Amino acid sequence: MAIMRLGYVHARVTDLEASRSHYSDTLGMEVKAEGDGKLYLKGWDEYDHHSVVLEEGGVGAVKFGFKVSHAADLEQYERALQQFGVTVERMSKGDNLATGDGVRFISPTNHVFELYHEMEYAGTETGILNPQTFPRHLRGVGVPRLDHTLITGDDVEGMERLFTECFDWHISERVIASPEEPTCLASFLSAGHKAHDLAVLKGPDSKLHHFAFILDDWNAVLRAGDLFAMDDVPVDIGPTRHGITRGTTIYFFDPSGNRNEVFAGSYTSCHDFPTITWTADQLGRAVFYHARELNDRFLSVFT
């Protein structure tokens, strides 16, 4: 029984055509389906039908989907969530395009999460029989896959409890106010072997900080930065490196102001690793390791 990964992010955008250009031409995702005011996209190294859904009207996150490893997991997670005490409901096959039935719940931070086991198989251009290492004619950044998301809410500790108790996740890193005042300001939650699959920052409920795409390495991050310059993509910060997760990064905004990230590096995390703790007086270094100070947007701009 396990949650394998963040399978999809469903976000609102103010202009679907401008978003198509950003996610498809600049980031290089493939549009797999469209209609009804929505675009469904996937990265080149994703086997499932889509990982990003863009819906015209508004900004911010609609919901997040996590894919579980076995069909029977859904029922067990449903029970665990009911026992935990959050609002849970069943979703049916077809509620989401190309996606099977599953369990929907509202988190303590008032975000909508969906657990599912089945999504239509799309495959990749390189295939699964003696494949080449990447498709030759990628567009733009050519993001391989969706990696993680950071959301904001007041009850960070509640999110830690839910994801560790209901899903057996571990906490790789967390930020506290100080050793004397251990209020949790941010938490980095891992489903398996990544430093984070979901992170939660103390802030307004229901908001999106960013969703991130993994890249191979630092060189790929720098190349993405060049492409953002060519395409006039507003950059929040970077290229730089995080103390937290040790990842290299650029944060940037989509044409509706939703923040995206390209991310590389980081480390392998395991369930038995102790949680790394950062204190607020070191937050500059924790967040932007090189500059060691925050900019005025990173912890205050959300959609």
Partner 1 sequence: MATVAIHLLPDDVVLQGRPGEPILDTLRRSGYSHRFGCRRGGCGVCRIDLVEGTTHDNAVVADTVLTPADRAAGVRLSCRAVPDGDVTLRVREDDRLHCVSPILARYVARRSLT
Window of 53-61, 75-83, 117-125, 163-171 that interacts with partner 1 by CB under 8 A: 53-61
| 192 vs 257 by CB, closer to partner 1 | 257
Choose, by CB under 8 A, the member of 15, 34, 101, 118 that binds partner 1.
15
Q: How far is the CB of 9 from partner 1 (least distance, A)?
A: 15
Per DSSP bridges, beta strands 170-176 and 207-214 are unpaired
Whether 111 sits among the annotated catalytic residues: the reply is no
Tokens of 246: 């040790």
Classify 85 in phi/psi space as left (phi over 0), alpha (psi -120 to 50) or beta.
Answer: left
Backbone CA torsion sign across 29, 207, 216, 254: positive
Window of 11-19, 68-76, 178-186, 268-276 that interacts with partner 1 by CB under 8 A: 11-19
Whether 125 sits among the annotated catalytic residues: the reply is no
Are 53 and 40 spatial neighbours (Cβ–Cβ below 8 Å)? yes
| 30 vs 254 by CB, closer to partner 1 | 254
| 155 vs 236 by CB, closer to partner 1 | 236
Query: Which CA distances in Å does 223 have to 141, 148, 239, 250?
Result: 7, 21, 10, 11
SS3 call for 110: coil
Burial class from Cβ neighbours inside 10 Å (0-12, 13-18, 19+) for residue 42 reads buried
| 79 vs 297 by CB, closer to partner 1 | 297
Whether 22 sits among the annotated catalytic residues: the reply is no
Q: How far is the CB of 234 from partner 1 (least distance, A)?
A: 4
- Spatial CA neighbour of 145 closest among 215, 228, 193: 215
Tell me the CB-side half-sphere exposure of residue 240, using CA atoms within 13 A.
21
Q: How far is the CB of 233 from partner 1 (least distance, A)?
A: 9
Site string for partner 1, 219-258 (x = CB under 8 A): ---------------x-x----------------xxxxxx
Task: Give me the catalytic one of 148, 157, 170, 271.
Answer: 148
Whether 50 sits among the annotated catalytic residues: the reply is no
Whether 117 sits among the annotated catalytic residues: the reply is no
Q: Which amino acid is at 158?
A: G
Task: Give me the catalytic one of 242, 267, 271, 289.
Answer: 242
* CB count in 10 Å sphere of residue 31: 15
Task: Give me the catalytic one of 23, 40, 77, 251.
Answer: 251
Whether 210 sits among the annotated catalytic residues: the reply is yes
Catalytic center residues: 148, 196, 210, 242, 251, 261
What residues make contact with partner 1 under the rule CB under 8 A? 12, 14-15, 18, 57-60, 234, 236, 253-259, 296-297, 300-303
